[in-house]
Each structure stands twice: as structure tokens, then as C-alpha cells.
């Protein structure tokens, strides 16, 4: 199934003594990724990645990037804030990233054909095979941090899953997981073809997440209403000021007809705010006009 949706997931995990923040990011392959370095950020930072217990340096950012890995496609670089930039992300880029040995993010890059599913602990999740899977009873596997486990039977690490919670439907080519647990998170394959990436939050994290939503969403709504009200008030005041100016202009005639013209067909006009001194001139027809302003002598 082709999915072009980009997804990024953040959540908090409560420890036994204090709240510890764990940032997880999930991206589809071929996406552009920017990983910020946790503060405080030094002038010189070294980015490294740990995968399957193996840690390697990627690059050092200080007056230019110094690569520590073979990067012929130039996919890795650093930005001005020393964050790590990955262009055209690949599934192999998954792992735990460190900035100056400080854990920055847990990155997972999934195939674009997989669906991203978010679930809470003890919920029911149903996964569906790719349409091009022909078998009526397909084999399901799960990959976690580079290791593959079979949903039914032994995986590469020799461990087995609790198959009592996993039900396969040969008719619909689906895998249903009941009472999902955080350890069920991972990338699921149907006949070695990516089907879905499942993220399961534990009960404490789900409650905290809902509590944060219950607090911040109303606060955000109130701030939005206050901002819109303030903006409407400013616009209304500006409109009233403009209307007042226009009313004053409309109440004042710009020109007044002067009485006592020597020629009935000629109108003599002057400005409402007459200057202190006027200069009268005669043209060839004898018409008299008042100048709006007294010219200044050269």
C-alpha cells in the first residue's frame, strides 16, 4: 500500500523517580530530516549514531563539516545551529543519534510503503498486508532496532512472540494484535514486504499526553480568541478614525463662490482657508482670480 504521508511522533516516558524525556522521530524514506543538538550547543559538535550496539561518528561541525563516514551522495551535513541534516533519508539511517555524546533523538526511517499507526497500551490494532501479497496465509515478522522477530515462531535473535495476542485472518490478510504493549512497537512485514510501523504508548505516557492536551488546547484556544478580539478592536478603531477624518473633510467646502463678480458668467473662487495676503492680477479678458498662495519674491 502506497502512503505518502510524512509523520513525526514525540512522546514522554515517566521514569520511576523523575520524568525523562525521550524524543522519537519517525520518517518515511526519501524525506529530508533535521535533528537538533540538545542545548547547550557548543561551537564544535560531533554527531554520531548507534545501531545494534555499534556506535560510529558521522561528522564534526566546526568552521565547515568534517565527515567521518563515506558519504558519496553527500546526504549528511550540518546547519547553522549545528543540527544534523539528512537529505533523502534511507531505512539504514535508523538508530540513536548523539550530539557530543548527548542523546539527541531516536530516529526510525520506514519504507514509504508502510503505514504509521499510533496506539495506546491495551488497545486493538489491525495490520493489513500489501495488496500484491498473493498468499492466503502470509508470514508476519517484526523488526525492532535492526533485529527481526517472527510473530509466530523464532526470529533471528531466537526469541518468540506471545502468539495468544496475535490473530491472523487468511481471508482478509490481516494481523490483529489485542492488548497491545509498548514492546509490540516496531516495523511489521507481511511476506517480507513492509506493512505498518506501530508505535505503542504505555498507560502513563498516554495519560500524560491526554493531560497535556487537556491543559494546552484550551489555553491555546483562549489565546487565539483574545488575539482575534484584539485584532478586530484595532481594525475597528482604525476605521472609526478614518471615518472621522472623512466627515470633517466632507463638512468643509473646498471652494466658496465669491460674491460681487463683475461678470455674471465668470465665477470667482478662493480657498476656504484664505491666506493672509492676496495678489490680484488682471488677464487679457479682465477676469480677476485670487491665487491660493502668495508667491514668494525671488
Query: Are residues 43 and 106 both part of a single domain?
Result: yes
Cβ neighbours for 251, distance < 8 A, ≥ 6 positions apart: none
Cα–Cα distance between 249 and 267 in angstroms, integer? 23
Domain limit, last residue, from 82, 112, 142: 112
Domain identity same for 168 and 126: yes
Domain stops at, among 141, 176, 201: 201
Q: Are 92 and 73 in contact (CB under 8 A)?
A: no
Q: Among 201, 229, 261, give the residue marking a domain's end.
A: 201
Instruction: Single out the residue of 42, 88, 52, 49 nearest to residue 69, CA to CA.
Output: 49
Does residue 161 share a domain with residue 80?
no
Burial of 231 (0-12, 13-18, 19+ CB in 10 A): exposed
Q: How far is CA 115 from CA 5, 125, 199, 263, in A?
A: 9, 12, 11, 92
Tell whether 258 and 177 lie within a shared domain: no
Judge if 179 and 207 occupy the same domain. Answer: no
pLDDT tens per residue across all 298 residues of the chain: 333 333 444 333 333 333 345 688 889 999 999 999 999 999 999 999 998 889 999 999 998 899 999 999 999 999 999 999 999 999 999 999 999 999 999 998 999 888 888 899 999 999 999 888 877 778 899 887 777 888 865 444 445 455 688 888 888 889 999 999 988 988 999 988 999 999 898 766 555 555 566 777 788 888 888 888 888 888 777 766 665 555 555 555 555 555 554 555 555 444 445 554 544 444 445 444 444 555 555 5
The SS3 of residue 44 is coil
Question: Which pLDDT value is given to residue 152?
Answer: 65
Strands laid side by side in the 76-78 sheet: 33-35, 84-86, 76-78
- Check whether residue 213 and residue 261 sit in a common domain: no
Q: What residues pair up with 180 in beta bridges, in sequence order?
A: none
First to last CA, the chain: 87
| CATH number for position 144 | 2.60.40.10
What is the C-alpha to C-alpha distance for residues 264 and 297, in angstroms, rounded to an integer? 33
Instruction: State how far the Cα of 264 lies from the Cα of 246, in Å rounded to an integer.
Output: 33
- 271 SS3 class: strand
Residue 295, SS3?
coil
105, 161: one domain: no
Q: How many domains does the chain have?
A: 4
Residue 77 pLDDT: 96
pLDDT at 18: 35
Q: Can you give the pLDDT at residue 104? A: 94
Does 167 lie in the same domain as 103? no
- Which residue from 98, 88, 94, 80 is spatially nearest to 37, judged by alpha carbons? 98
Domain that holds residue 221: 203-252
Q: Rounded to whole angstroms, what are the CA distances from 194 to 32, 123, 127, 187, 206?
A: 21, 22, 11, 7, 26
Residue 236 and residue 177 share a domain = no
Residues 151 and 221 in one domain: no
Residue 198: strand pairing partners: 117, 186
The reply to whether 261 and 159 lie within a common domain is no
For residue 37, whether the previous peptide bond is cis, meaning omega lies within 30 degrees of 0, is no
Judge if 171 and 214 occupy the same domain: no
Amino acid at each position: 500500500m502506497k502512503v505518502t504521508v510524512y509523520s513525526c511522533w514525540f512522546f514522554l516516558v515517566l521514569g520511576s523517580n523523575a520524568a525523562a524525556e525521550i524524543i522519537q522521530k519517525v520518517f518515511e524514506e526519501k524525506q529530508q530530516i533535521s535533528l537538533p543538538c540538545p542545548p547547550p550547543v557548543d561551537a564544535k559538535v560531533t554527531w554520531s549514531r548507534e545501531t545494534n550496539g555499534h556506535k560510529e561518528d558521522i561528522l564534526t561541525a566546526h568552521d565547515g563539516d568534517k565527515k567521518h563516514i563515506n558519504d558519496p551522495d553527500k546526504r549528511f551535513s550540518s546547519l547553522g545551529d549545528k543540527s544534523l541534516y539528512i537529505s533523502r533519508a534511507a531505512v539504514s539511517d535508523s538508530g540513536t543519534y548523539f550530539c557530543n555524546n548527548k542523546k539527541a533523538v531516536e530516529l526510525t526511517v520506514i519504507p514509504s510503503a508502510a503505514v504509521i499507526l499510533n496506539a495506546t497500551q491495551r488497545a486493538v490494532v489491525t495490520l493489513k498486508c500489501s495488496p500484491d501479497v498473493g498468499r492466503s496465509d502470509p508470514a508476519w515478522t517484526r523488526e525492532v532496532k535492526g533485529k527481526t522477530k517472527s510473530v509466530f515462531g523464532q526470529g533471528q535473535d531466537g526469541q518468540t512472540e506471545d502468539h495468544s495476542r496475535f490473530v491472523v485472518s487468511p481471508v482478509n490478510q490481516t494481523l490483529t494484535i489485542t492488548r497491545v504493549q509498548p514492546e509490540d512497537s516496531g516495523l511489521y512485514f507481511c511476506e517480507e514486504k513492509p506493512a505498518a510501523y506501530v508505535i505503542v504508548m504505555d498507560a502513563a505516557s498516554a495519560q500524560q499526553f491526554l493531560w497535556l492536551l487537556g491543559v494546552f488546547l484550551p489555553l491555546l484556544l483562549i489565546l487565539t480568541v483574545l488575539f482575534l478580539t484584539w485584532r478586530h478592536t484595532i481594525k475597528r478603531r482604525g476605521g472609526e478614525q478614518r471615518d472621522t477624518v472623512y466627515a470633517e473633510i466632507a463638512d468643509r467646502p473646498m471652494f466658496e463662490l465669491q460674491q460681487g463678480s463683475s461678470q455674471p458668467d465668470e465665477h470667482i473662487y478662493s480657498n476656504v482657508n484664505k491666506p493672509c495676503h492676496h495678489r490680484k492680477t488682471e488677464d487679457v479678458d479682465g477676469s480677476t482670480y485670487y491665487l491660493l498662495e502668495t508667491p514668494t519674491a525671488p
